[in-house]
Structure 1
Amino acid sequence: MQRLADFLAQGSERAARRASEALGNAVLSLGELPERGRPGVRQGWRELVIPFGAAAYVVQYRVEADSVFVARIFHSREAR
């Protein structure tokens, strides 16, 4: 998340704060609703799409027993 916030802060501190807050809230919500994301491309993984501006951020994560493991957070327009 810090990498994304640092990138946004180069253009707008306000956008960086808004994105950090949106991402933080979304990731924390996975503790309550871990199945809310869509099934991911890789079997056993899920993706939570967080709309932001004209695009979105994607959180790739896995649910195991009573834990959520976040593997990656990226911008939807970012080269993967």
Structure 2
Amino acid sequence: METLFELGEDLAVGAVESKNEYCEHLPDNVLKNIFKYLPYQDICRCHLACKHIHKYLNEHIAEFSRPNLSDLMYLIQAFITS
């Protein structure tokens, strides 16, 4: 099973644990360059997926363990591509 955006499990766990440490320092021009190539419909899907994922993670962060992370990434990928 491929993980979402080809993130390794360690990187994904670290991202959750660091509470967006890397995203906070990401320059706006980087995000603009990423999203300017996406169709509007894909941007809406990304926003919706991120919103639901953020809510879910905040509510269930204590329940996360490494074996469950790959399942979560698979569900996220399925949600985004649907």
Q: Identify whether the pair has TM-score above 0.5, normalized to the shorter chain.
A: no
Whose strand fraction is larger, Structure 1's or Structure 2's? Answer: 1
So what's the TM-score if we normalise by structure 2?
Answer: 0.39
So what's the TM-score if we normalise by structure 1?
Answer: 0.40
Q: Of the two structures, which has the highest relative contact order with CA contacts closer than 8 Å and spacing of 6 or more?
A: 2
